[in-house]
């Protein structure tokens, strides 16, 4: 990739409304242009223009169902890039929540959320730290499951997808904790299991997740994570 193409790609994230739309799509769902327009607080025509640029630039993928047009992040690589950029940017010290509801939602997102298809926030980092402390995950030479880690996933009944272009494990810089959490195929499989088994439930319309009482028991039993670390 030449300098010009890199600059053009980076410019796709350099407009605040586009950045807001891309961050919203980290929930892994497909959104309509109207939903994203309302989220970014722009006119529908403006949202359509921005989305066209993001699709053309390879950041978003477009899907059509009848008369409806949906967009989603183009893949886990884009999601990883967006989360990494958000982590490097850090919180805006000048930005205060617009309302009590916004402040509450922000706290919920910091406690636990999905980052595209894996766990993030304090929950994601706590799980990652526990996997590491128990010798199931190595972080010294990059993220890698140990033999014990592979056995732990198997014993839990969490199948790991076959080898593909996406790595089995990958460190993803958490933008609220400023520390890495587990991503990759293993991170996605564990997140799916946590939701399917009722360890976590989604709350609100954002990416926030809440650990259930059953989840607190399971995480204590499986990884030694105390409930206080999840609140």
CB 182 within 8 A of CB 169: yes
pLDDT for the residue 106: 66
pLDDT for the residue 205: 61
pLDDT for the residue 110: 84
Domain limits, the chain? 3-74, 98-230
149 or 108, which is more confident: 149
Q: Which CATH architecture has domain 3-74?
A: Orthogonal Bundle (1.10)
Q: In this predicted structure, which of 12-21, 39-48, 97-106, 129-138 has the lowest mean pLDDT?
A: 97-106
Q: For 12-69, what is each residue's pLDDT tens digit?
A: 999 999 999 998 888 878 899 999 999 899 999 999 999 999 999 999 999 887 777 8
User: Is the pLDDT reported for residue 228 higher than 90?
Assistant: no
Predicted TM-score of the model (pTM): 0.74
pLDDT for the residue 178: 83
CB 186 within 8 A of CB 136: no
pLDDT for the residue 144: 94
pLDDT for the residue 98: 55
pLDDT for the residue 58: 93
- The whole-chain average pLDDT of the chain stands at 87
The pLDDT-based confidence of 131 (bands split at 50, 70, 90) is: very high
User: Is the pLDDT reported for residue 90 higher than 90?
Assistant: no
Measure the CA–CA gap between 5 and 103, rounded to whole angstroms: 38
pLDDT for the residue 93: 52
User: Is the pLDDT reported for residue 8 higher than 80?
Assistant: yes
């Amino acid at each position: 990739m030449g300098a010009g193409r890199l600059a053009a790609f980076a410019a796709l994230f350099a407009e605040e409304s586009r950045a807001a739309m891309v961050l919203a799509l980290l929930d892994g769902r497909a959104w309509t242009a109207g939903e994203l327009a309302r989220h970014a607080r722009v006119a529908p025509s403006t949202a359509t223009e921005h989305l066209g640029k993001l699709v053309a630039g390879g950041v978003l993928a477009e899907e059509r169902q009848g008369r409806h047009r949906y967009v989603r992040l183009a893949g886990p690589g884009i999601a990883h890039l967006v989360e990494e950029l958000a982590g490097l940017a850090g919180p805006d010290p000048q930005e205060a929540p617009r309302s009590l509801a916004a402040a509450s939602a922000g706290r919920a997102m910091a406690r636990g959320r999905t980052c595209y298809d894996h766990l993030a926030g304090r929950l994601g980092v706590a799980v990652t730290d526990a996997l590491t402390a128990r010798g199931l995950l190595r972080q010294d030479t990059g993220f890698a499951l140990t033999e014990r880690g592979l056995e732990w996933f198997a014993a839990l009944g969490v199948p790991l997808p076959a080898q593909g272009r996406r790595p089995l494990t990958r460190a993803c810089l958490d933008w609220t904790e400023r520390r890495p959490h587990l991503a990759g195929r293993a991170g996605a499989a564990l997140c799916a299991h946590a939701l399917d088994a009722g360890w976590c439930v989604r709350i609100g319309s954002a990416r926030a997740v809440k650990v259930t009482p059953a989840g607190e028991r399971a995480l204590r039993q499986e990884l030694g994570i105390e409930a206080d670390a999840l609140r």
